[in-house]
Amino acid sequence: MNGIVFLYLLINGWTDYKKGEVDLRYTVAMAGVTGIYKVGTETLDNWWGILPGLLLWVIAVSRKGKIGSGDGWIVMAVGWALGMKKVWNLLAIAFFTAGGVGIFYLFFKKESEKEIPFVPFLLLGFLVGECLA
Q: Which of 76, 66, 61 is nearest to 27 (CA)?
A: 76
> How far apart are the C-alpha atoms of 79 and 73, rounded to whole Å?
10
Question: What is the reported pTM?
Answer: 0.89
> Which pLDDT tens digit goes with each residue over 79-110?
999 999 999 999 999 999 999 998 888 888 76
Residues near 29 by Cβ (< 8 Å), separated by ≥ 6? none
Residues near 17 by Cβ (< 8 Å), separated by ≥ 6? 117, 119, 120
Let me know the angle formed at the C-alpha of 46 by 125 and 71, rounded to the nearest 5 degrees.
Answer: 45
Q: Is the pLDDT of residue 45 over 80?
A: yes
Domain definitions of the chain by residue range: 2-132
